[in-house]
Amino acid sequence: GAGVSQSPSNKVTEKGKDVELRCDPISGHTALYWYRQSLGQGLEFLIYFQGNSAPDKSGLPSDRFSAERTGGSVSTLTIQRTQQEDSAVYLCASTSPGLPETQYFGPGTRLLVL
């Protein structure tokens, strides 16, 4: 079956604009994660969904960041009033049920804020 897909693959925006990033998880995966990968950095956890609810939003860097998930499937990550430091690769992963916890990653969205 299809893997995790993300769109757009690349996004260039101007400082101050809002952007919306989309993640389509693998069908049947109930858990969905968003990470941010900045140049030369590891993966920074942003938010996690179990179904449509987000038990852990602890990684969102500021209130400009929000995410939602509908129908237990597609998720969108929204960044309002983008700043240059928001430039990064945003990765989405979905998780198969059971252990070990195996996260399947999408290819990411490369965001560049000018």
Partner 1 sequence: GEDVEQSLFLSVREGDSSVINCTYTDSSSTYLYWYKQEPGAGLQLLTYIFSNMDMKQDQRLTVLLNKKDKHLSLRIADTQTGDSAIYFCAESPHNTDKLIFGTGTRLQVFP
Contact positions toward partner 1, by CB under 8 A?
Answer: 4, 31, 33, 35, 40-43, 45, 48, 50, 55-56, 91, 93, 99-108
Q: How far is the CB of 103 from partner 1 (least distance, A)?
A: 6
Nearer to partner 1, 41 or 62 (CB): 41
Nearest distance from residue 8's CB to partner 1, in Å? 14
- In the complex, least distance from residue 69 CB atom to partner 1, rounded to whole angstroms: 14
**Per-residue 3-state assignment (H helix, E strand, C coil) for 56-108:** ECCCCCCCCEEEEECCCCCEEEEECCCCHHHCEEEEEEEECCCCCCCEEECCC
User: Minimal CA–CA distance to 94: which of 20, 22, 24?
Assistant: 24
Asked if 111 and 90 count as a contact pair (C-beta separation under 8 A), the reply is yes
Cβ nearer to partner 1, comparing 19 with 89: 89
